[in-house]
Structure 1
Amino acid sequence: MTVSHERPTERMADTAEVHWQRWTMDMQIIVTEPDAIGAARRCVDTELDAVEAAVSRFRPDSEINTLASSSGRPTQVSELLAEMLSAALLAARQTDGDVDPTIGAAVIALGYDRDVTALDSSVPLATTVSRLATWSMVSFDNRTVTLPPGVVLDLGATAKALAADRCAARVHAATGAGVLINLGGDIATAGSAPAGGWQVLVQDGDDEPASLVVLSSGAAMATSSTVRRSWCRGGQLLHHVLDPRTGQSADPVWRTVTVAAASCFAANTVSTAAIIRGWRALNWIRAQGIAARLVDSDRIVHTIGGWPNDDTCRAR
């Protein structure tokens, strides 16, 4: 899963907001109708409960872990997991396999087998597993999924982004209010924005470069980071964005990549693939005409596609 310190810069007039922690990350809801904040929180909690039950690798009873033990047998999944898996496979197709949901066993081999706050750096680094499969080997027909034996899915990045999109839509449908959902840096909006738009500060830590972004109604944003969700194992500093071709943490060319798009899922697909592509990501993103901001290992900021050099942009 991806994390940043994206946050509204100031309390916007005629809005209400709530902050809390879940999945070891900061969560936030802002609504344009203060009376709707309670209903909004309930909607989001219900949605996140369902997402966790479907795709959490850290819950033994999750659907994703049931699939991992299916030994290659066709398995019917819930509508939610089917949507999450379909999105993950779409991201894989769109990125030529840079975002691949079949990396679960490699992630576990690197030691990320529980909540990141509970990882033990004294445990030796396991021998990295060889790739058992790629995304193209996942058989998916409507709600029936067949995985090659031994494959563990990890839908972390795409699932959290899609959850942000679903939460924003659900809150707006239930309350009629304009809403911004921030799930650990994955931001989605729905309904009308407040006057002046949704003002968001993009900064992955107090000592990192900062950018003020104004999101208009319905816009979304995602940040992928090699700084957050990192751990030590066997004397190596590792992070959670893996290169599917090596089974190792991607070379940290970029500290963070932030992308603005029409959906959080679309933004996250590009930001995650950019971490894996390294310097090649600049031309790839530029060719798509997408607004993006990349902070390299020397904290130098690179902007593309309408993200001005003054580090302030209006994403639509």
Structure 2
Amino acid sequence: MAQACWSDRGTEVRVVVTGSQACRVARRLVTAELAARNRACGFRWAGSELSRVHRAAGTPVPISARLAELVAAALTAAELTDGDVDPTVGAALLRLSRTGRDAWLPVCGSSLRPTPQSDGWRRVMLRDGLLTVPVTVLLDLTATARAVTARRCADLLAARTGGGVLVALGGCVATAGPPPPDGWRVPFGGATLVLAGGAVARTRTTGRGPARPIVDPRTGLPPAPVWREVTVAAADPVTAKALSLAALVRGPDAGAWLAGLDTPARLVAVDGTVETITAGTRAELTAVSGG
């Protein structure tokens, strides 16, 4: 088994492959996929494909298959979480972020307002390769785009190498192919998760570097500070990421909600208290250790 780790534009990348000769191929492939993601939906890059959609001011725009995949994943996450994870919070994110709005206002104009919009994601239309975004809406696909890219990389590498693959992009981890005999070991802070397969995602409210704000779509503001971080295991990294982020938004109700979904999870409160949820029928998360 071989491993490669590096940083790509601030994203910590870790690739583990069961074949010792596959790491060089893995690095090239993952780097190319991350670059393609940025070209498609870079949030603060005026040259991204998504910025062209925003400049279209509410008219349908033909988009690439990659951007369509990223938008579809974001809308699926919104539906899965009853709108807790909403890609239309882009304007609110700009208002809350440290680096802020100057990077985007010349691109999108001054019509954007960080006004809370219930179910704003339902106003985004993706149909037959055409994407329509209302003129007052700024899409931010960051919450799920990393998970989609991790899944793509794992699937492509497993198909190319014929072995087992783990791809971690920051807090999003995807696996594909046959796992090692003792499972995939995923270190997250003081805990080590052992995966038999599937995916895991961690969302934090604090960390190294400028923190990306967490936004409650119903208020346009950060949620009450209940959890410091939430880690969720699921069959798919997009599902895992959506549920971990939604748990932060739901605050004190998150544990019961995840338990009701039969979802393995680890929630760390702001005071350091740890709540672990063990699923009764799901086997993706087979062990959690550490403090």
Where on the TM-score scale, by shorter chain, does this alignment land: which range? 0.7 to 0.9
- Give the aligned residue type for 1:78: S
Corresponding position of 2:274: 301
CA distance in 1, matches of 2:9, 2:266: 25
Find the counterpart in structure 1 of residue 235 from structure 2.
262
Corresponding residue number in structure 2 for 1:146 = 132
Q: For each residue in 1:187-242, what CA deviation from the matched residue of structure 2 results, as whole angstroms up to 9, or x when unmatched?
A: 00111112211112221xxxxxx2222111x32100011012775xxxxxx74211
Deviation, structure 1 residue 112:
5.0
SS of equivalent to 2:22:
helix
Shift of 1:40: 1.2
Summarize the alignment of residues 1-316 of structure 1 with structure 2, pairs less than 5 Å apart.
Answer: 15-113=1-99, 129-131=114-116, 134-203=120-189, 210-216=190-196, 218-228=197-207, 231=210, 239-306=212-279, 313-314=286-287
Gaps of 5+ in 2: 104-112
**Distance between the aligned counterparts of 2:34 and 2:11, measured in 1?**
13
> Using CA pairs below 8 Å that are at least 6 residues apart, which structure has the higher relative contact order?
1
- Structure-1-length-normalised TM-score: 0.81
Distance 1:36 1:16 in 2: 8
Deviations 1:160-194 (A, max 9, x none): 11111111001111111211101002100111112
Distance across 2 between alignment mates of 1:104 and 1:142: 24
Q: Deviations over 1:20-46 (max 9, x none)?
A: 111313111111111111111111112
Aligned length: 273
Distance (Å, rounded) in 2 between the aligned partners of 1:182 and 1:275:
21
- C-alpha separation in 2, matches of 1:195 and 1:129: 49
Runs of 4+ in structure 1 off by over 6 angstroms are none
Distance 1:229 1:60 in 2: 26
Structure 2 residue matching 1:260: 3-state secondary structure: strand
Write the distance in 1 (CA, Å) between the matches of 2:98 and 2:9.
Answer: 14
Partner Cα separation in structure 2 for residue 182 and residue 191 of structure 1: 15
Q: Look up the equivalent residue of 1:219 and give its one-letter code.
A: G
* CA apart distance, 1:250: 2.2
| Native 8 Å contact 1:230 1:239 kept in 2 | no
Separation in structure 1 between the aligned mates of residue 83 and residue 209 of structure 2, nearest angstrom: 23
Between the aligned partners of 2:178 and 2:241, the Cα distance in structure 1 is: 23
Asked if the contact 2:89–2:114 (Cα under 8 Å) also holds between the matched residues in 1, the reply is no
Q: What is the CA–CA distance in structure 1 between the aligned matches of 2:253 and 2:98, rounded to whole Å?
A: 27
1:62 Cα deviation after fit: 0.4
How far apart, CA to CA, are the structure 1 residues paired with 2:209 and 2:122? 28
Amino acid at match of 1:253: V
- 1:289 maps to a residue whose letter is D
2:201–2:244 contact (8 Å) kept in structure 1:
yes
Computed over aligned residues only, the root mean square deviation of the Cα atoms, in angstroms, reads 2.2
Whole-angstrom distance in 1 between the partners of 2:17 and 2:73: 27
Preserved CA contact (<8 Å) 2:96 2:213? no
Q: SS at 1:174's partner residue?
A: helix
